[in-house]
Structure 1
Amino acid sequence: MTAYYAGELVSLMLMAMALGMDAFSVSLGLGMQKLRLKRIALIGIIIGFFHVLMPFIGILLGQAISSQIGDYTVLAGGLLLFGIGAQMVFSAFNHETPQLAQPVGIGLLFFALSVSLDSFSVGLSLGLSNVRTVVTLLAFGTTSMVLTWIGLILGRKVHGLLGVYSEILGGSILCGFGLYILFG
C-alpha cells in the first residue's frame, strides 16, 4: 500500500513539474527585464496561487462531470492530458514571440492566468479520475512558484536558452501521462 502512495506522489510531482515548465520558460524571458527580488518573489507567489486556483476549479468541474458520464471519465481524462501535452509541444515550435505584459497590477494577473490555463485543463482531467485534491493542489502551486522563481532569476543570466526545451519536456511528460491513463 505504501508503494502505491509513493508511486502516486512521484506521478503528481512529475505532473506538477510538467505544468510548472510553462511558467518556468515564460519566466526566463520575463527575467531579462532586470526585476527586483521583491517583484520576483511576488510574481512567483501569484503564479503559485493561480496554479492552485485553476486546477481546483478544474477538479471541481471534473468531479461534477464524472458523476454524469460514468465509465467514459478515464478515457476523457487521458485524452485531455494527451491533448494538453501535445499542444504544449507544438506551441514550443511556434517561433512568434508574444509581447509580454509588464508584471505589475492587472498585467501580473493576466500573466499568471495565461501560464496557469493549462493547469485548469489538467485539473479537469484529474477531477475525472478522483485524485487527492489537497496534495495535488499543494504540489502544483509549490512547484510552479519555485520554478517561476528559478526561471526569473536564471532569466537574468541565461537569456532564453532553455525556454523551448523546457516546454517540449513539460508537454512530453503530460502526453506520457495521458497515454498511461489510456493504455496503462
Structure 2
Amino acid sequence: MDMFIGELITLCMMAFALGMDAFSIGLGMGFFRLRLKQIFYIGATIGLFHIMMPLLGIVVGRFLSQQFGSIASYIGGALLLLLGVQMIVTSFKDENEPLVSPIGIGLIFFALSVSLDSFSVGLSLGIYGTRTLLTILLFGFFSTVLTWGGLMLGRHFQQWLGVYSEVLGGSILLAFGLKLLFPF
C-alpha cells in the first residue's frame, strides 16, 4: 500500500509538471476573447492528447525495456532530464503569441504540440513499468484542469506567472530525471 501511495504521489507530481506547460500556454491564450464553451473544448482536447501521447509513450517504453533491459532505464532518466532542461530553457523565450489559433484544426495542432513532452515522459514511465491506466488518467486530468485554470486566469496573471509556471514544471521533471539516473 505504501508503494502505491508513493507511486501515486510521484505520478501526480509528474502530471502536474506536464500540465504546467498547458497552464502557461493557457495563460497566454487568455488574451483571446474565448467563450466558456471554447475554453471547455480547449481544455478537454488538451486533456485527451495528454492521455493519448503518454499512452503511446508507455507502449513504446515497455517494448524498449523488454528489448534493451537496464540500458533502457538510463535512457528514460536521460529523457526526463533533457525534457526538464528544455522546458526551463524555452520558458525564457519571448514568444507570447501562439503560432496557431485554438479553434478547429488549429486546436488539434495546438494540443499535439503541448502534449509532445508527455510522450517522452510516457516513454520513460513505460521503461520503468508504471501503472498505465492510473498514469494516463492523472496526466489527462491535471492537464485539462490546469489548461482551464490557465485560460481563466490568463487576462490577469499572464505576465507574472507565465515563465515561472514552465520553470516549475521543468524543474520537477529535471529532479525526477536525476532521481532515476542516480537513485539515492
Question: In the aligned structure 1, how far is the partner of 2:162 from the partner of 2:154?
Answer: 10
Mapped partners of 1:102, 1:86: distance in 2: 27
Paired residue type of 1:85: G
Partner secondary structure for residue 104 of structure 1: coil
Distance 1:170 1:134 in 2: 22
Which residue identity is paired with 1:11? T
Q: Does 1:65 align with 2:83?
A: no
CA contact under 8 A between 1:17 and 1:143: conserved in structure 2?
Answer: yes
Q: Percent same amino acid at aligned positions?
A: 56
- CA distance 1:153–1:48, change in 2 (3 Å): same
1:35 is matched with 34
Letter in 2 for 1:71: S
- Equivalents in 2 of 1:137, 1:98: separation in Å? 29
TM-score, normalised via structure 2 length? 0.96
Unaligned runs of 5+ in 2: none
Residue 104 (structure 2) pairs with residue 105 (structure 1) = yes
1:41-120 matched pairs, under 5 angstroms = 41-120=40-119
Q: Which runs of 4+ in 1 moved over 3 A?
A: 96-100
Distance 1:77 1:103 in 2: 32
- One-letter amino acid of the structure 2 residue matched with residue 124 of structure 1: L
Q: Cα–Cα, structure 1 residues 85 and 162, in superposed 2: closer, same or farther, change >3 Å?
A: same
Assess if the C-alpha contact under 8 Å between 1:34 and 1:156 holds in 2: no
Question: Structure 1 CA distance, aligned partners of 2:140 and 2:167?
Answer: 21
CA contact (8 A) 1:24 1:147 kept: yes
Q: Which runs of 5+ in 1 are unaligned?
A: none
Deviates more, 1:152-161 or 1:90-99: 90-99
Write the mapping of 1:164-175 to structure 2, written as runs, cut at 5 A. 164-175=163-174
In 2, the alpha carbon distance for the partners of 1:38 and 1:97 equals 23
Q: How far, CA to CA, are the matches of 2:145 and 2:99 in structure 1?
A: 20
Tell me the CA shift for residue 98 of structure 1. Answer: 4.7
TM-score (norm 1): 0.96
Q: CA deviation at 1:73?
A: 1.7
The answer to which of 99-108 and 124-133 deviates more is 99-108
User: Does the Cα contact within 8 Å between 1:86 and 1:171 map onto a contact in 2?
Assistant: yes
Taking the aligned partners of 2:78 and 2:158, their CA distance within structure 1 comes to: 35
Deviations 1:97-156 (A, max 9, x none): 454311111000001001000001111111111100000000000000000000000002
1:30–1:100 CA contact under 8 A, matched in 2: no
1:42 & 1:98 partners in 2: Cα distance? 20
Q: 1:77-111, CA deviations, whole angstroms, 9 ceiling, x for partnerless residues?
A: 11111110010011112224454311111000001
